[in-house]
Homo-oligomer: A and B are copies of this chain.
């Protein structure tokens, strides 16, 4: 749903609509969020900005992520260990496959999710607003390096 450039413009629209100012720091954070495929952490975003904005405060990154979240333009993915990661490309709920080794996150496209939502509504009586679906496992790369160290063959 939209190239990084389109996402960037869409977010700028939302900000203008809601009377928020377009500061260089804010724009840089958005730029990273819409271009990144890695679902970065706040810390990672902060580090990526160090070069261009040496005086950037960590609080600024937190504030802007919270703002974009409240505007529905960023998806927060929080984990039991307390870490949070952010997706500015697809701010709507979608499944994730997360590597427990290297922490890589990829987005598999699955059908049949609307189906599940309807089932839950029926069985629980809940009005469903959103959902969260994560698969945890080991990615192909980590499986390979695992096999190498195990010494398959001889």
| 17 contacts across the A-B interface (CB closer than 8 A) | A76-B80, A78-B80, A78-B82, A97-B126, A99-B126, A112-B115, A112-B116, A124-B139, A124-B140, A128-B135, A129-B137, A129-B138, A131-B133, A131-B134, A132-B132, A132-B134, A132-B135
- Across the interface, do A139 and B116 meet the contact criterion of CB distance under 8 Å? no
Would you call A128 and B137 a contact (CB within 8 A)? yes
Residue in B closest to A138 when the chains form the complex, CB atoms: B127
State how many residues of chain A have any CB contact under 8 Å with chain B: 42
The CA of A136 and the CA of B81, in the complex, are separated in Å by 20
Residue pair B137, A127 in contact (C-beta under 8 Å): yes
Known: A76-B80, A78-B80. A108 touches B123 (CB 8 A): yes
